[in-house]
Amino acid sequence: MNAPSIQPDRLLDLFLLITGINSYYPNEGAVSDLLRNRLEGIGVRLHADEHRNLVGDWPGQGMFADADPILLCAHMDTVVPTEGMRAVVRDAAVHTDGTSVLGADDKAAVAAIVEAAEAVAGAGVSRVPVEFLFTVGEDVGHIGSKAFDITGLRSQMAFVPDIDGPVGLVSLAAPSSRNVKVVFHGRAAHAGLEPEQGRNAIVMAATAIGAMSLGRVDEETTANVGLISGGEAPNVIPPRAEMTMQVRSLDNGKSDEVMETMIACCRDAAAQQCGTAEFETVFETRGFRFDPGDPIVRRVEAAIRVAGRDPQHTVTCGGSDANELNAKGLPTVVLSVGYRDIHTNEESMPIDELNCLASVCAALMVNA
């Protein structure tokens, strides 16, 4: 038996091929087709679910054929712009020409997972059953993973490579996050002729914000008002104003508590002006937390060591598909990809990190 060895040239070619495809939501189809072709070639059974997530199932082999399956997950969409993206390989990393993002978030993970499977297949070694989930619309609000039905999965643990930092980081926790849009309703009136008849919706918003504690509420909770608009003209008492509030916390209960307090500030402010406030949750994801001794953490740490890195723990402040899989009851940790400056035109992907991530994924497949 041979240990799986990553083929750097094949991996780089695949990464360049995938990043060359424009795939911002909802245009992931061509990436999905490409992945399906590659993975079907090594015996993975694949299907797209009704939300266009690509789901794969690869039976185990040899002494690990009956081991518990694991799930590897990465998202196929990117942020914009990727139109006309030109990859430039220099300084041992893949960059763009500076006019677009690269999309290494999360296509470096997509490519590394496929290369890992191909390397494992090529080595002919024992492997655990592996399930694959390539999602759509992660960057616009976890659309694919939120809608995904996990009841067809057999895996008891899942791994999502989708944070920055050198390969070897394991995120033990991620915050819950909730965005609530508020619409204040007042009454319009001529601001010069009969201001007494008006109910100023902008004043309601301002009063509400003034009563809130924003920023870092405590060491694990943040609150923000990030969008605001309202009014019609300088001479009209504004009848309508809207804003969007966000709370993030590593403690799900605290997140709910802080948002309820902000909502109460809005209700009080509206009432003071004899107006009303309406609320709508426009995005919500639940947080998660693992202990360093949990089996899922030990499993991935072992794989990181096989790939030649020292595992490190971190806590992310952002969300990912892992929030949704954990919320559905599938224990899922987030791993670092090694990508840099994501969501900017300076985004880059160091080639040794790409190879190392593929080694971690391969090690997950061949160590029960």
Q: What residues are labeled active site?
A: 77, 138
Q: Stretches 57-65, 99-107, 194-202, 346-354: which one binds Zn ion (CB under 5 A)?
A: 99-107
Distances (CA, A) of 311 to 103, 109, 169, 302, 359: 25, 18, 6, 8, 14
Which residue has tokens 């490190």? Answer: 312
Q: Stretches 32-40, 151-159, 160-168, 307-315: which one binds Zn ion (CB under 5 A)?
A: 160-168
126 or 316: whose CB is closer to Zn ion?
A: 316
Please report how close the Cβ of residue 75 comes to Zn ion at its closest, in angstroms. Answer: 6
Please report how close the Cβ of residue 25 comes to Zn ion at its closest, in angstroms. Answer: 12
Rg (CA), the chain: 24
Binding to Zn ion by residue 105, rule CB under 5 A? yes
Q: Stretches 48-56, 104-112, 208-216, 352-360: which one binds Zn ion (CB under 5 A)?
A: 104-112
Binding to Zn ion by residue 242, rule CB under 5 A? no
Please report how close the Cβ of residue 163 comes to Zn ion at its closest, in angstroms. Answer: 8
Contact at 8 Å (CB) between 139 and 25?
yes
Rounded to whole angstroms, the Cα distance separating 322 from 334 reads: 7
Rounded to whole angstroms, the Cα distance separating 335 from 126 reads: 24
- DSSP H/E element including 271: helix 252-272
63 or 315: whose CB is closer to Zn ion?
A: 315
57 or 347: whose CB is closer to Zn ion?
A: 347
Burial of 317 (0-12, 13-18, 19+ CB in 10 A): middle
What number of chain residues touch Zn ion (CB under 5 A)? 3
Please report how close the Cβ of residue 162 comes to Zn ion at its closest, in angstroms. Answer: 4
80 or 368: whose CB is closer to Zn ion?
A: 80
| Peptide bond just before 26 cis, omega within 30 deg | yes
Alpha-carbon dihedral sign for residues 187, 192, 197, 202: positive
Binding to Zn ion by residue 77, rule CB under 5 A? no
201 or 335: whose CB is closer to Zn ion?
A: 335
Nearest to 27 by CA among 117, 144, 177: 144
173 or 277: whose CB is closer to Zn ion?
A: 173
Please report how close the Cβ of residue 147 comes to Zn ion at its closest, in angstroms. Answer: 17
Q: Stretches 102-110, 216-224, 228-236, 352-360: which one binds Zn ion (CB under 5 A)?
A: 102-110
Question: What is residue 304's DSSP assignment?
Answer: H
Which one of 28, 57, 77, 106 is in contact with Zn ion (CB under 5 A)? Answer: 106
Which one of 57, 77, 162, 324 is in contact with Zn ion (CB under 5 A)? Answer: 162
Cβ atoms < 10 Å from Cβ of 76 = 29
Q: Tell me, what amino acid is at 16?
A: L
**Contact residues: Zn ion, CB under 5 A:** 105-106, 162
